[in-house]
Structure 1
Amino acid sequence: MKKGVIVQASSRSNGNTSLIVSFVNEELGFDIIDLNKKTIGHFDYEFNNQNDDFNSLFKHIVSNYEIIIFATPIYWYTMSGILKVFLDRISDFLKIEKEFGRLLRGKKMSVISCGSDHEIFDGFTMPFVQSANYLGMDYLGHVHTWLENDEIPNKVNLEIKKFVAKQLNKSTKNT
């Protein structure tokens, strides 16, 4: 099984979040999945979106990776809409094809946010922490990033490196 995947969830495939993802991936060498290049419909109780990209993508992720890192820009003080829809659709696998939903148990989740502010507001990580708890996943933490003059500042660079080291150390001790 492959070590991990970075799920990039920005409305711009080549924006600031992508730059951060590329930098993080230089340290990790994980696969990258760009949700902006997928067609994923909203969750609905009739499961009318079964023929979009979500089902095969979710099955691929849970069958092949131990660590899932969600990388999202901050839009309106929270995760991107693309990522929210992705997380909502996990409900499909809690209702139908539950064997795939159960594969999340014991996997590890991390979050990278990218914003225009140096600060992150209280509560940003709550949906990730609580979702990980509910799904039986190990939440490994969050790092907040930003760019200055289209470059990653030294402070962010150091925080990313600490974050990566912490995540890999925790995950290798538990696998």
Structure 2
Amino acid sequence: MKKGIILLASSNSNGDTFSVSKYLSDRTSFQIIDLKSKFIEPFDYEFKNSNDDFLPLIKEIVNNFDIIIFATPVYWYTMSGTMKIFFDRISDCLKTEKETGRKLRGKEMAVLSCGSDKELKNGFHMPFIETANYLGIKYVGEVHCWLEDNEIPTEVKHNLNKFAQIIL
């Protein structure tokens, strides 16, 4: 069984995206890391932000996990700002932390999204897929979720169960 991590990137640490991430975590035993609980500054071309939480976190990820699940709410038809900052900071792994960046090659990644609509607009997954391609990470799939009356609907549970089988 693969060792995985779920990176939760919501503005609401206990919101809908957490609920579906927790459901997935319970089926995979993948740990959830709430990016909101980390101090991660935006990308800086001068790399003056190297004392924040990004580098220790990405090193923990590349050294301990086989698969990364990026869990994000859908905000304005795209990933959350928290997730975008994390993705931008991966650039550190191409410039100043090349050893860490090389360890991303061969990892797997997938996307768990959660929104108010049952379907995503075309192109939502493109930044994830292209980032995976660029970094040599195997993109293994995605699942889109929503809640109804603060509950995970049967259809979404079914989709999450199928997704769990794929990522394990």
Counterpart CA distance in 2 for 1:37 and 1:118 is: 28
Counterpart CA distance in 2 for 1:166 and 1:18 is: 20
Structure 1 position 163, deviation (Å) = 1.0
How high is the TM-score relative to the length of structure 1?
A: 0.94
Alignment of 1:25-104 (within 5 A): 25-104=25-104
Alignment of 1:11-22 (within 5 A): 11-22=11-22
Counterpart CA distance in 2 for 1:157 and 1:97 is: 38
Once superposed, which parts of structure 1, at least 4 consecutive aligned residues long, lie more than 2 Å away? none
Query: Pairwise CA RMSD of aligned residues?
Result: 1.1
How high is the TM-score relative to the length of structure 2?
A: 0.98
Structure 2, unpaired ranges of 5+: none
Counterpart CA distance in 2 for 1:12 and 1:86 is: 16
Counterpart CA distance in 2 for 1:68 and 1:90 is: 13
Percent pairwise identity: 58
Q: What is the aligned partner in structure 2 of residue 145 from structure 1?
A: 145
Structure 1, unpaired ranges of 5+: 169-175
Q: What is the aligned partner in structure 2 of residue 172 from structure 1?
A: none
Counterpart CA distance in 1 for 2:48 and 2:116 is: 36
Counterpart CA distance in 1 for 2:44 and 2:160 is: 36
Counterpart CA distance in 1 for 2:97 and 2:80 is: 26
Counterpart CA distance in 1 for 2:58 and 2:49 is: 13
Structure 1 position 160, deviation (Å) = 0.7
Counterpart CA distance in 2 for 1:154 and 1:79 is: 24
Structure 1 position 44, deviation (Å) = 1.2
Secondary structure of the corresponding residue to residue 106 of structure 1: coil
Q: What is the aligned partner in structure 1 of residue 163 from structure 2?
A: 163
Counterpart CA distance in 2 for 1:157 and 1:115 is: 15
